[in-house]
Amino acid sequence: MLMTRRGLLLGAAAASVAPSCAWADEPQLTAEGLIAEPWFLESFLDLPDDLASTHKEGKRLVIMWELRGCPYCRETHLVNFAQPRIADYIKANFEVLQLNIIGDRKVKDFDGTELSEKALAAKYGIHFTPTFQFFPETAAGLKDEAPAKREVARAPGYLRPDDFLAFFRFVRDKAYEKGSFRDFLKS
């Protein structure tokens, strides 16, 4: 029986699906209970290195903050990422690093400090899931900036598909240099 995206995520078998299965290109449940897209960035959790390698590929780095059981995170995966026009645009222009807002994995920040995902979320003032945190093209000067000044844009909470895609375009087009996301949507 062919599993659907929704069936895979809703079924109890989702956690035991082997990567070699026919639906390996579908989202999977992580050991932390988060839904992960197969095209998300595989990382050693070194943000300066991730930003540099992403820039070399001509893409932008975005962190997607999630929480196990978050209904809006789930909606982002089942609705937004499930649309090829959205997923294809993001894959072509961004690398998405998934972090757990209460996670324990160690992450190296732009200033060289190494801290847990939970401590990093607190450092950056991440309070909601999903939250998408977008960074500049290079790390030049980031280590000397306050955490709040390191990102170029932030999308806290769930965005409907059209607005979600528009936000990624807003960042890719560097429209944040000219105005707000609201202004971008009006233009």
Classify domain 27-186 by CATH number: 3.40.30.10
In this structure, of 25-29, 32-36, 142-146, the range with the lowest mean pLDDT score is: 25-29
Chain segment 145-180, per-residue pLDDT in tens: 999 999 999 999 999 999 999 999 999 999 999 999
Sequence-ordered alpha helix ranges (H) in the chain? 5-10, 47-56, 71-75, 84-93, 117-123, 147-150, 161-172, 181-186
Rounded distance, CA 149 to CA 123, Å?
12
Q: Record the tokens describing residue 166, joined without a space.
A: 């528009």
Enter the pTM of the model.
0.86
